């Protein structure tokens, strides 16, 4: 179970802190707190000095309940010394159409929270100091310290007094009170005999002395939880910075591993793309060796279709024709086949050949005809030292 550590903001950037279960108090900066092992894993609560806080209770009508954060600051504008826009307003739980409000300087609170965050401190709550004083219904609480008096006169009413003017302020408070307190709960660091002489006479006979222990939350179980300043503009968000500090090494290692994996995949993909391109070029080259003309969309499919045509559809077959032509051409030296085209409808084969001379072409035609096929020369031309010719070959009808 986590312990609780109270951080009391003091003058300048100094503070004091203590464990909730220990009366020992340490002093220093937020960096000193961050270096304290006892505070490192504790629930940290920042206490705002009473002299920095103004407490008010504001009445409202039911229809305004959802707009309190917008309307209350301007309702209190005339009661505040400083400009409304420079103040931070924190709200307690509304009851009986009244809402308690704690007010603190926005810049002051923001600076403390920023310093704490930079030191790695995760502040869980920020509470007004006077609302940590013991409280009992229809009683007042007075805590006397060397340099100030703290007073709490209601669940959400309290303030700090200068020692020199404290007695007069208490008398004025008594004069304006609708009902006198039944008891004055008193905590003091000074001798009680000296304290009693400083109190208004009306309070001296109702004093109940309490031990001057360090302030705790809800000391007497009053059921009035303090107002937390971490709301509105200062509402808590997820502690991304602390999480990053804890997990940055793991995150960096994971990011590097992912980057390496993605790079390896990229390299493998590039290699496969090159292999695929090379295979497609090979396939296209094979197709062009069979069919040098026309578009190439799906070479494999186109070759299969041509093979079916060559094998013959509806009972026709080109294979015997090819065998006869091939056997005849083998007998003629210097003749090579450049291209052949088969027409299924006409059962006709057209063969383009090259030869060293026209006589070789004619010899090839006669050799084919000698196999019992019709072989006609349908064109020839001379290309350098080569003769190109095209033969039309079919079965004799």
Q: What is the DSSP string of 318-376?
A: SHHHHHHHHHHHHTSTT-EEEEEEEETTTTEEEEEEEESSHHHHHHHHHHHHTTTEEEE
Question: For residue 315, what pLDDT is reported?
Answer: 44
Q: 312-395: CATH homologous superfamily?
A: General secretion pathway protein M, EpsM (3.30.1360.100)
* Cα–Cα distance measured from residue 198 to residue 193, given in angstroms and rounded to the nearest whole number: 9
In sequence order, which residues have a C-beta less than 8 Å from that of residue 193 and are 6 or more positions away? Answer: none
CATH of domain 1-132: 3.30.420.380
* Cα–Cα distance measured from residue 324 to residue 369, given in angstroms and rounded to the nearest whole number: 10
Question: For residue 111, what pLDDT is reported?
Answer: 95
Question: For residue 9, what pLDDT is reported?
Answer: 92
Domain boundaries of the chain, sorted by first residue:
1-132, 133-212, 239-296, 312-395
Question: For residue 142, what pLDDT is reported?
Answer: 94
* Cα–Cα distance measured from residue 9 to residue 332, given in angstroms and rounded to the nearest whole number: 111
E strand spans, the chain: 4-9, 15-19, 26-28, 43-48, 54-59, 87-91, 98-105, 123-128, 139-144, 149-154, 157-161, 183-188, 207-209, 336-343, 348-355, 373-383, 386-395
Question: For residue 297, what pLDDT is reported?
Answer: 76
Question: For residue 240, what pLDDT is reported?
Answer: 62
CATH of domain 133-212: 3.30.420.370
Per the listing, tokens 């010899």 go with: 363
Same fold for the pair 133-212 and 312-395: no
Residues (pLDDT < 50) of the chain are 219-221, 313-315
Question: For residue 222, what pLDDT is reported?
Answer: 55
């Amino acid at each position: 179970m986590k312990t609780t550590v109270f951080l009391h903001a003091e003058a300048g950037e100094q503070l004091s802190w203590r464990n909730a279960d220990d009366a020992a108090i340490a002093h220093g900066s937020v960096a000193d707190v961050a270096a304290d092992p006892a505070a490192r894993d504790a629930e940290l609560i920042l206490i705002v000095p009473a002299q920095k806080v103004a407490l008010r209770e504001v009445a409202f009508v039911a229809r305004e309940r959802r707009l309190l954060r917008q309307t209350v600051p301007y309702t209190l504008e005339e009661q505040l010394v400083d400009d409304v826009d420079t103040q931070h307003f924190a709200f307690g739980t509304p009851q009986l159409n009244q809402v308690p409000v704690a007010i603190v300087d926005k810049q002051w609170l923001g600076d403390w929270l920023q310093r704490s965050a930079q030191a790695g401190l995760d502040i869980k709550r920020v509470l007004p100091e006077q609302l940590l004083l013991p409280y009992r219904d229809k009683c007042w609480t007075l805590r006397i310290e060397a340099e100030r008096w703290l007073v709490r006169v209601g669940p959400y009413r309290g303030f700090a007094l200068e020692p020199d003017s404290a007695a007069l302020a208490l008398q004025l408070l008594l004069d304006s009170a609708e009902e006198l307190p039944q008891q004055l709960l008193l905590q003091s660091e000074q001798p009680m005999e000296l304290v009693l002489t400083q109190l208004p006479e009306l309070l001296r006979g109702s004093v109940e002395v309490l031990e001057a222990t360090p302030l705790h939350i809800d000391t007497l179980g009053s059921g009035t939880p303090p107002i937390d300043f971490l709301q509105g503009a200062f509402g808590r968000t997820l502690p991304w910075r602390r999480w990053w500090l804890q997990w940055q090494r793991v995150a960096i290692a994971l990011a590097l591993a992912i980057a390496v994996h993605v790079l390896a995949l990229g390299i493998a993909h590039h290699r496969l793309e090159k292999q695929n391109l090379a295979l497609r070029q090979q396939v296209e080259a094979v197709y062009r060796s069979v069919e040098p003309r026309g578009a190439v969309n799906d070479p494999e499919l186109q070759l299969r279709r041509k093979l079916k045509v060559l094998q013959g559809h509806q009972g026709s077959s080109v294979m015997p024709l090819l065998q006869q032509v091939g056997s005849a051409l083998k007998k003629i030296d210097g003749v090579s086949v450049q291209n052949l085209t088969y027409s299924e409808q006409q059962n006709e084969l057209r063969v383009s050949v090259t030869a060293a001379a026209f006589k070789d072409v004619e010899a090839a035609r006669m050799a084919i005809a000698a196999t019992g096929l019709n072989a006609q020369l349908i064109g020839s031309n001379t290309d350098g030292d080569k003769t190109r010719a095209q033969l039309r070959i079919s079965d004799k009808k």
